[in-house]
Structure 1
Amino acid sequence: MTAPRLHVIPAIGCHKALVLRRGPTDQVASLLWDRDSGAVTLGQWLHGRIHEYRSDLSPDARHMIVFAGTGARWWTAISRAPWLTALSVRMQGDAWHGGGAFTPEGRIWLNGAEPLSDPPDGLRAAKVDAYPHATDGIHMGGLYLAMMGARGWTHAKGDAYQAELVKPVADGWQVILRFEIGQKNRALISNRYALMRSDGVEMPQPDWEWAEPWGGGLQLARDGALWFAKPGKDGLEELAQIHDFKGLKFVARPAPYVGVNR
């Protein structure tokens, strides 16, 4: 059985993260993960697709924005994390642009659209130029690169899918993030990671789907689970599992609030 694919979006202002678990292909679940305690809270499932590079979690982890669709229709939804039921929704007939992000101050920004005139739940709209507008988050406009920059990643070189981002780990180590198109058992666009030692030796990590420095080591996603590891002289040491997502199955769940009918 193929392990589910995981995409993790850490909040900028707290120790929580949004986990998007995809598998089978047309099913995705949204979950909220407390990176301190390891606790994971299931939100809702969607029969469809969520574009991870145009989705975001608010700095306080209270709200999220996702760009989702079923192939026939697409929408940008603002909701209370980790629930997918929209408090505000914008429909569109294709996957061109769409989605959005939160600024470090928690303002909501829409990709390829004018600012919201009536943001829900006390949220405030960001200026139209708060982030670069993009068709898929990476290819045109550099939206995803800007979002990662707000999370402390340095854009080292390259543009679009050839971009390379780096972030320090500990003891001179760095984690490197690149991108790949059409990788087997991954989304059309996927993250590709490597570790680099202080002496410049690079160690590719082809099975990682996400990684972020944490507590003198790394939190990472691979094989349908979240893990914690510390880099040692010859690679990773002290690999410990945080949470396994492989056993989850689709269950229709209502949100604990009233949303928008679409």
Structure 2
Amino acid sequence: MSPFPPRIHVLLASQAPVGLVIRRGPSKHVATMLWDRDRDTFQLGQWLKGRIYERRSDISPDGKHLIYFAMNGKWQSESRGSWTAISRVPYLKAIAFFPKGDCWHGGGLWTGKTKYWLNDGYGHAELHSASALQRDTQYQPQGGCGGECLSVYYPRLLRDGWAWVDRVKIRKWQEKDIFEKPIGQGWTLRKIAHAEVGAPVGKGCYWDEHELVGPNPAPPIACPTWEWAELDGRRLVWAAAGKLWAAQVRPNGLVSESVLFDFNDMAFDAIEAPY
């Protein structure tokens, strides 16, 4: 069996033309990369031997900071095996560090350029904090589900302009939520967010697929290989087969499709943050 391509998830800053790519693969290696969305250039941040829960992570509106939840299973270490951290994009070195000790809740959302909500759940310890950043204790996220990834991911989608449409219960421990976002020219991007035990090979228990719904009464166009997709200005961007793609949206569909970056041929490298 050929190896699976790396999994790609992207966080887009709302007030700056940057993004943070979270690239996972092999399963216990993850890297972060800065995406300059004006020039479509990419800069490697850092690697982590462990897991970053991308659906419990967020980039600040100005694109300068990342809040993320990670796990390396070293339960007797200072990190207690899992932790929430805040770092400077695109690096992972913590400037604020909250050991967790389990994989319930964790991570958080940015509520301003320097204000963040910590998905505390059963509680973090605070090892050190950043004086320039402020924890938002008043924020009440809407639309969260359960105590794992969806407690952050669904509120992030709603904040970023997605509309929740429906929840489909398939069987016990298997359901999907449908989100939609207009992408211009009469088209709608549909995100099908799966949550299940016993997911398909190569998928985690939380995974997404997508459809394009056109302006005419025709069946939706299935895009089952798109693991992440979003509107970036007037273009559509998505991740599939370990690559980041882009295309323009026109009344008759997507045109000028291109690959922005191929993340397949990357290997772990110990990199120090410049701070």
Aligned to 1:168: 182
How many pairs does the alignment contain? 254
Q: Does 1:150 align with 2:148?
A: no
Deviates more, 1:22-31 or 1:64-73: 64-73
Amino-acid identity (%) = 35
Deviates more, 1:155-164 or 1:34-43: 155-164
**Alpha carbons 2:99, 2:127 under 8 Å: kept:** no
Aligned to 2:77: none
Give the 3 Å change call, closer, same or farther, for CA 154–104 of structure 1 in structure 2: farther
Give the 3 Å change call, closer, same or farther, for CA 28–109 of structure 1 in structure 2: same
Q: Does 1:244 align with 2:254?
A: no
1:119: Cα distance to partner? 4.2
Aligned to 1:9: 11
The one-letter amino acid paired with 1:86 is A
**Alpha carbons 2:186, 2:251 under 8 Å: kept:** no
> What's the C-alpha RMSD, in Å, of the aligned pairs?
2.4
TM-score (normalised: structure 2): 0.84
Counterpart secondary structure, 1:169: strand
Distance 2:58 2:165 in 1: 23
Of 140, 145, 152, 1:130 maps to 140
Distance 1:62 1:216 in 2: 23
- 5+ residue gaps, structure 2, are 75-80, 170-174
Aligned to 2:83: 75
Aligned to 2:109: 101
Aligned to 2:212: 195
Give the 3 Å change call, closer, same or farther, for CA 125–10 of structure 1 in structure 2: same
Q: Deviations over 1:138-184 (max 9, x none)?
A: 2xxx4322111211111222289532111111210000011124233
The one-letter amino acid paired with 2:248 is K
Distance 1:54 1:125 in 2: 16
Distance 1:212 1:164 in 2: 15
Deviates more, 1:154-163 or 1:92-101: 154-163
- 5+ residue gaps, structure 1, are 258-262
Counterpart secondary structure, 1:199: coil
1:19-34 correspondence runs (5 A): 19-34=21-36
**Alpha carbons 2:97, 2:129 under 8 Å: kept:** no
Distance 1:57 1:66 in 2: 9
Counterpart secondary structure, 2:156: helix
**Alpha carbons 1:54, 1:99 under 8 Å: kept:** yes
Q: Deviations over 1:188-216 (max 9, x none)?
A: 31111110001243111011011112343
Give the 3 Å change call, closer, same or farther, for CA 220–27 of structure 1 in structure 2: same
TM-score (normalised: structure 1): 0.88
